[in-house]
Amino acid sequence: MGQTERPRAGMGRAMSEQPPYGLTDIELDELNEYLAEHPGPYQFGLDAAHGLLSAVVVAPEPIAASEWLPVLISDDGEIADADTNNRVLTLIVRLYNSIVQELEAFSYQPIYAEVEDEQGLARLSPRGWCEGFAAGIDLRSEIWGTRLGSDPRLLEIMDPIIRLSAEEGVLDIDVVGEPGSAHERGDELPLPGEQPWHEQASDDALPDEAGDDPPASDNPWQHLLEPMSEPDYDAALNAVAAAVADIQQYWRDHQPRQDESFDADNPLLRRKRDGQWVH
């Protein structure tokens, strides 16, 4: 949104009420402080941890803790003792279970970081949560990518999450065939399940010198490339909770096919952190 973010110690939810499930505020702060002091491979904080676990809970197929836990914390011997180890794992498992319970009770809310804008005013930032959710999608990238490329219903359901992720610089989205895109240069394969939404225009289809407008794009990702207005941003922020619940229901109703098997070598969307590609 063009504002400088200065993270503060506190964490914010989309709603101020304490949820009926999960960790207390003190326990959330405890987990957040641990993650800050013992950064994992992607340096996820509490908000990103909540996004990661949310994506795992609503994933198209079950994901074992042995897959998602190394994304969150590193196994490098930094945990000093068994008590600390057990305490951290207990908090993470309880956070995971709270997401399951909140979704079943229709009370799910994402955890966002509380930051300061350029005027020093506190606001909620979805960047960390979106980074975590994108990391969870990466764990089953082939399934997500194939289905997003073939079923516009899932793309529509995920619209607020994808738009916020793109707005916050978490995702980098190429428009297939657009001038300057990686796909036009031919140095990168299309995303799993992605179709070439743009055809190379013939000479007859080019606008003439009279100033005719070029044909409108039929790329369903096109609106993701447009900057979001403040009202659109706020609306998307408030729509994330419902989107997560709808994603879970979608995969329950439309389970993965055999040709949408897990493929770790095919990331869905390229996720960025500090200007570097993260797969």
pTM, whole model, 2 decimals?
A: 0.74
Return d(Cα 225, Cα 88) in angstroms, integer: 39
Confidence of residue 68 (pLDDT cuts 50, 70, 90): very high
Confidence of residue 278 (pLDDT cuts 50, 70, 90): very low
What secondary structure letter does DSSP report for 225? G
What are the domain boundaries of the chain?
Answer: 6-173+221-278
Instruction: Using alpha carbons, select from 219, 197, 73, 193 the residue that is nearest to residue 140.
Output: 193
pLDDT tens-place string over residues 162-176: 999 999 988 765 443
Q: Does residue 79 have a pLDDT over 80?
A: no
Return the biggest CA–CA distance within the chain.
75
| Highest-scoring range by mean pLDDT, 15-19, 119-123, 248-252 | 248-252
- Among 20-24, 26-30, 247-251, whose mean pLDDT is lowest? 20-24
How far is the C-alpha of 88 from the C-alpha of 33, rounded, in Å?
11
pLDDT-derived band of residue 2, with 50, 70 and 90 as boundaries?
Answer: very low
List residues bridging with 111 in a β-sheet: 13
Q: State the Cα–Cα distance between residues 167 and 273, nearest whole angstrom.
A: 13
Q: How far apart are CA 278 and CA 225, in angstroms?
A: 20
- Residue 193 has a CB neighbour count (10 Å cut-off) of 18
Report d(CA 49, CA 98) in Å as an integer: 13
At 208-261, the pLDDT tens digits run: 444 455 445 555 566 666 789 999 999 999 999 999 999 999 999 999 988 776
